């Protein structure tokens, strides 16, 4: 969620029935930005209850943008009002008030997407990493592991003039590849136009598109040097702007130690289902383990 919340009932790693979305299509895209934290929690609980339709749920998983720790949203740059909010407690209380004891788990949204990819592709035994390219740049991984994992804020340049990241930090991947950052950089062009112009050979735009690829390759190479090689999935509204062949080549230039070679990239069209499935599957596994 950032612009909207999507919810679904998950059975056997699949969505059963319809996905519910709020604010509904046609409502203001900004509605969530101005909604107080309590109301967001109440609305999530209401949608979940209506999906359950009186049946008991084994667990509820929520994917939420930002840094999540023990059910608390510690930081959420795009939904500032929820910073410090104990979302898990608020949801469990809401379910308890209607007589249901349901364990709730909150995950970073990119982690939920990574879990959804692992579950739907049958690769839950492997390390899967995902870059979500949209307004910001998210980094998710499965299996879930405690940590901040703010890969979108990897430092990919030492140029002190690179200061477009939404977090305010200098030299960050998101400051180059994030949609918001691109709009700040190209005040005269929309990001879509930048990539279109680059295809037509316009110099300033093609240089920037090359820089985007180098930045993403650099952050990926850092992840490989820290955690080893593997599959990196690209998803989110802007994933289609990335040329996987170029990215492969750049990473190959950046990672030379032979035990660390063999990573690959795959673009997965953006969709809400992966996050819903991933949050549910992770929550069910976590509450079963507890
Ligand atoms: Zn940043």
pLDDT at 77 (0 to 100): 78
Please tell me the distance between residue 151's alpha carbon and the centre of ligand 1 in angstroms: 9
pLDDT at 263 (0 to 100): 96
Residue 54, C-beta contacts closer than 8 angstroms, at least 6 positions apart: none
Please tell me the distance between residue 11's alpha carbon and the centre of ligand 1 in angstroms: 36
How far apart are the C-alpha atoms of 205 and 102, rounded to whole Å?
Answer: 51
How far apart are the C-alpha atoms of 237 and 243, rounded to whole Å?
Answer: 14
pLDDT at 2 (0 to 100): 61
pLDDT at 38 (0 to 100): 94
Please count the other Cβ atoms lying within 10 Å of the Cβ belonging to residue 25.
Answer: 7
Please tell me the distance between residue 167's alpha carbon and the centre of ligand 1 in angstroms: 4
How far apart are the C-alpha atoms of 80 and 142, rounded to whole Å?
Answer: 26
**Which residues are bridge partners to 85 per DSSP?**
73
pLDDT at 233 (0 to 100): 98
pTM of the model: 0.92
Please tell me the distance between residue 54's alpha carbon and the centre of ligand 1 in angstroms: 43
> What is the chain's pLDDT, residue by residue, as a tens digit (290 residues)?
567 889 999 999 999 999 999 887 666 767 888 889 999 999 999 999 999 988 889 999 999 988 999 999 999 877 889 999 999 999 999 999 988 889 999 999 999 999 999 999 999 999 999 999 998 999 999 998 888 899 999 999 999 999 999 889 999 999 999 999 999 999 999 999 999 999 999 999 999 999 999 999 999 999 999 999 999 999 999 999 999 999 999 999 999 999 999 999 999 998 889 999 999 999 999 988 88
Please tell me the distance between residue 120's alpha carbon and the centre of ligand 1 in angstroms: 30
Please tell me the distance between residue 150's alpha carbon and the centre of ligand 1 in angstroms: 8
Please tell me the distance between residue 212's alpha carbon and the centre of ligand 1 in angstroms: 15
Please tell me the distance between residue 258's alpha carbon and the centre of ligand 1 in angstroms: 31
| Residue 246: half-sphere exposure toward Cβ, Cα within 13 Å | 12
Please tell me the distance between residue 181's alpha carbon and the centre of ligand 1 in angstroms: 10
Please tell me the distance between residue 125's alpha carbon and the centre of ligand 1 in angstroms: 31
pLDDT at 79 (0 to 100): 84
Please tell me the distance between residue 8's alpha carbon and the centre of ligand 1 in angstroms: 31
pLDDT at 166 (0 to 100): 87
Please tell me the distance between residue 127's alpha carbon and the centre of ligand 1 in angstroms: 24
């Amino acid at each position: 969620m950032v612009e909207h919340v999507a919810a679904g009932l998950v059975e056997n790693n699949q969505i059963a029935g319809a996905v519910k979305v709020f604010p509904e299509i046609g409502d203001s895209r900004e509605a969530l930005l101005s909604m107080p934290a309590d109301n967001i929690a109440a609305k999530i609980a209401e949608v979940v209850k209506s999906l359950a339709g009186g049946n008991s749920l084994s667990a509820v998983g929520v994917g939420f943008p930002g840094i999540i720790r023990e059910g608390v949203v510690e930081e959420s740059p795009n939904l500032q009002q929820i910073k410090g909010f104990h979302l898990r407690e608020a949801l469990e209380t809401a379910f308890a008030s209607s007589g249901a004891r349901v364990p709730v788990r909150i995950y970073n949204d990119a982690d939920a997407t990574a879990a959804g990819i692992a579950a739907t592709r049958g690769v839950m035994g492997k390390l899967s990493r995902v870059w979500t390219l949209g307004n910001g740049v998210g980094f998710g991984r499965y299996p879930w592991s405690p940590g901040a994992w703010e890969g979108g804020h990897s430092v990919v340049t030492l140029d002190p003039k690179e200061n477009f990241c939404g977090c305010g930090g200098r030299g960050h991947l998101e400051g180059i590849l994030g949609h918001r950052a691109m709009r700040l950089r190209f005040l005269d062009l929309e990001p879509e136009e930048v990539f279109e112009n680059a295809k037509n050979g316009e110099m300033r735009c093609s240089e920037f598109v090359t820089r985007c690829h180098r930045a993403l390759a650099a952050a990926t190479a850092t992840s490989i040097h820290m955690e080893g090689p593997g599959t990196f999935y690209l998803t989110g509204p802007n994933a289609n702007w990335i040329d996987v062949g170029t990215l492969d080549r750049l990473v190959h230039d950046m990672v030379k130690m032979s035990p660390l070679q063999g990573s690959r990239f795959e673009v997965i069209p953006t969709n809400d289902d992966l996050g819903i499935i991933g949050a549910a599957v992770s929550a069910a596994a976590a509450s079963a383990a507890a």
